[in-house]
């Protein structure tokens, strides 16, 4: 909710990433059809992810793969997008593989 005050959105909305789609190829196909999202993927220089500690590690790995392929910058982490985050650890939540435990963290 706070992100809406500065024009922010969820990572799923920003990147047109459906949480139920596992295949990176399918996600890229969907993103290419969603022109505003494709433009965001190609032109974003800095991506701020609030509470990145709550991002699922598998989702984070897929985001890295999508960014790398869409931006065609395979030699740079996250396809050349600088990722900035605020890392928090919420207590009392159901544990899942957080992004800190994923391959590209």
**Confidence (pLDDT) at 23:** 95
Residue with more model confidence, 99 or 8: 8
For 6-61, the pLDDT digits (tens) are 788 888 999 999 988 989 999 999 999 999 999 999 999 999 887 777 777 888 88
Token output for 74: 């395979």
Report pTM: 0.78
84: part of which helix (H) or strand (E)?
strand 82-86
Is the Cβ–Cβ distance between 66 and 15 less than 8 Å? yes
Domain that holds residue 93: 2-101
Lowest mean pLDDT among 72-76, 82-86, 98-102: 98-102
Q: How many domains does the chain have?
A: 1
């Amino acid at each position: 909710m706070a992100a809406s005050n500065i024009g922010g959105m969820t990572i799923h909305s920003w990147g047109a990433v459906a949480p139920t789609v596992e295949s990176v190829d399918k996600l890229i196909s969907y993103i290419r059809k969603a022109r505003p999202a494709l433009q965001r993927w190609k032109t974003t220089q800095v991506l701020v992810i609030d509470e990145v500690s709550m991002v699922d590690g598998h989702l984070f790995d897929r985001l890295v793969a999508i960014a790398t392929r869409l931006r065609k910058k395979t030699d740079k982490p996250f396809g050349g997008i600088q990722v900035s985050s605020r890392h928090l650890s919420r207590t009392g939540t159901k544990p899942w593989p957080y992004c800190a435990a994923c391959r590209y963290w």
